[in-house]
Amino acid sequence: MSPTPPKKLSKGQLAYEQERAAKAGKSLDEWLKMKAKADAAEARGAAPKPVKKPGFFTRLIDKAHKPI
């Protein structure tokens, strides 16, 4: 599986990422590589979301449809 090519950043996004890289004491290239690596690691280790409990009205309707 080949890594996805870096997406094109708008001028505003590029300026924002440059500021973040400067705060972290890294060059823009190093920052973007580090960010891409972190995103890939998060995507690999992403666990499925837990099943959400049905809402109040859904539970109420389900109870109303059950036989007595």
> Quick one: tokens of 66?
């059950």
Angle between helices 28-44 and 11-24 (to 10 degrees): 90
The pLDDT value recorded for residue 45 is 78
**pLDDT over threshold 70, residue 4:** no
The pLDDT value recorded for residue 1 is 40
pLDDT digits (tens, 9 = 90+) for 31-68: 999 999 888 888 887 667 788 899 999 999 999 999 87
Question: How far is it, in rounded angstroms, from Cα 63 to Cα 35?
Answer: 48
Query: pLDDT grade, residue 3 (50/70/90)?
Result: very low
